[in-house]
Amino acid sequence: MLALFSVNFLLLFYLEGIAGLSVLTASYLILPVAVGTAVVGPFGGILSDRIGPRIVATAGLLLQAGALLFLTRLTTATPLVDLAIIEAVYGVGGGLFWPANTASIMAETPPAKFGVGSGIMNTLRQTGMVMSFALSLTAITLAVPAGIAYALFVGTISGGLSPHDAASYLSGQSLAFTISLTLLAAAIVLSLLRSPVRTGPPGEAVTVG
């Protein structure tokens, strides 16, 4: 979670500051992430039930890692169509990971503790989201003046950044995505090491493999 939530955040900055788009248009252009997750999410749950959450969750993380690798190399000349495709791939990865990861956690949780398990999971998710934003903003503010970072944050950049500021921003963005990719690599290892189980009836874990 710490590695994942900064993507939409930074893509909005990129589309506004580098592509020179309005806040509204930039918002539309990050929809492929949500669409990919929404379309694949139900199938991710089905696959998790059939073949086990470890394989499905890890596959989702690998897709997201590939997308993040591409995002570390964004330039001022990256076609928006290419970016949209990568966003969709990232969303598909999320659609595989989130249902499978949730199923894996709940399968290991005693039925009497479902509420506690769900609460802890959501708390960690929200904490990861906030920390992800903080890491992203830190990387950006190390690369560009605070005033520009603030203007990107509130959406008051008009017509994109100057060439010098754009180069500085891309350097900071690449650093932020590289940090996310490193954290995601660790998550992939942990996902591979999780217990090989698939979900059965509520509260029942059925071992596979």
Would you state the pLDDT for residue 203? 46
* Spatial contact of 13 and 74, defined as CB atoms under 8 Å apart: no
pLDDT of residue 34: 93
Q: For residues 7-31, give the mean pLDDT.
A: 91
pLDDT in tens, 47-91: 988 998 999 999 999 999 999 999 999 999 999 999 999 999 999
Share of the chain above pLDDT 90, in %: 47
Lowest average pLDDT, out of 52-56, 85-89, 118-122, 181-185, goes to 118-122
- Residue 11 confidence (pLDDT): 93
Rounded Cα–Cα distance for residues 190 and 203 (Å): 22
Q: pLDDT class for 199, splitting at 50, 70, 90?
A: very low
Q: Which domains does the chain have, with CATH numbers?
A: 6-192 (1.20.1250.20)
Longest Cα–Cα distance in the chain? 58
Reported confidence tier of residue 32, pLDDT bands at 50, 70, 90? very high
Residue 54 and residue 191 in contact, taking contact as beta carbons nearer than 8 Å: yes
What average pLDDT does this structure show over 105-124? Answer: 83
